[in-house]
Amino acid sequence: MLNRKRLNNNSSNNNLNSTSTNKNGITSIPKTVLKSSGTMTKKGLVRIGNALKKIPIHKPPQIVRWDFLGVGMSYLWGMINRRALPRLLRKPIYKAWIYTFKCNTEEIPDPLDSYPSLAEFFARPIKPEARPIHEGGSVSPVDGRVLAVGEITSDSVEQVKGVTYNINHFLGCDPKSLMRNPEENKLYQCILYLSPGDYHRIHSSEDWTIDTRCHFPGTLFPVNKPFLKMIPSLFALNERIVLKGEWDQGFYSLTAVGAYNVGSISLNFDQVAQTNKITRDFTCKNLEYFSWNGVGSHSYDHIYDTPIPQSKGQEVGQFHLGSTVVLIFEAKEFEFTIKPGDYCKMGTLIGKSI
């Protein structure tokens, strides 16, 4: 397997050395304004205020302070999760979790005290017969609630009702450039949110092949509805792994989006991918203080020598708690059998080509 790394550089650095307006109409704050002095004059404060007013706040910034908080706390939570618990404490702790998040205990294949850590319990398998795979059509890759579903008709795509994210930033490129037949076929999406009590393993929703893994470093905002409604392009800001490939209709992708306290994502066929790391690559433009041009669109891409085949229902990877999975794919015509707000179990029908 070939690991070929590259950093997609789709934006230019903001010029902070002098007062200027870049091609996006964004005014930089001059260094002279930001210099500290013994006393800040009223004139200086007015100049700072005027400069800040020209920043278009409708574009979500990558704030390093949040990155330290989100990633730092998620890393700490991951360390706690992985610590082995005394056997006597396992059952009461896991029972409290089951009670709080209403887990289905009938699907748990092993005794509770057989899971050595919270991480092992969160990412536990289920009994094989608990998730039959629907034969015809595409199936849900996870247990989760539908946030958005339907045809993609523009660059701005709904993440929840009334709030959008940029699909070009999310995938790191224009998806039309990946389509087999952009003239006749259409693009579709399905977003599924996993709650803490859900089954946390990710499966293939179709027979397809994976040829590229893209790791997008980012921050880790929560992905619950209040934050999705508050922060535009949240999915393009958060750390994520995008798996790109093809199915019989053309382009196909499955994306695992990390979230606050849920940054750890692992793949069954690729142990190289490392997410939720406390040591951040601050040369990546996704983590700049203001990454205005192409927010979240920079990735490290790993192209496989041979495409990796995946069959419908096959396990792809797992979240080490829960988060969001986004399917974006090409089809001539596709009819969804689900709608926003529906709850799907892995293996149940979500739609089919027509």
Say which amino acid occupies 194: L
Annotated catalytic residue within 11, 138, 143, 298: 143
Neighbours of 21 (CB within 10 A): 11
**Alpha-carbon span 322 to 346, nearest angstrom:** 14
**Alpha-carbon span 137 to 330, nearest angstrom:** 14
Annotated catalytic residue within 74, 205, 297, 323: 323
Residue 41, Cβ density class (10 Å: 0-12 exposed, 13-18 middle, ≥19 buried): exposed
**Alpha-carbon span 159 to 180, nearest angstrom:** 25
Structure tokens at 153: 């008709």
Annotated catalytic residue within 169, 203, 215, 298: 203
Active site residue 203: yes
215 three-state secondary structure: strand
Q: Give how far the C-alpha of residue 207 lies from the chain's centroid of Cα atoms, to the nearest Å.
A: 22
Active site residue 143: yes
Q: Are 239 and 220 in contact (CB under 8 A)?
A: yes
Q: Are 347 and 135 in contact (CB under 8 A)?
A: no
In sequence order, what E strands does the chain have? 138-139, 144-152, 156-160, 163-166, 186-193, 201-203, 208-216, 240-247, 250-257, 265-267, 300-310, 315-319, 324-331, 334-336, 343-344, 349-353
Active site residues: 143, 203, 323
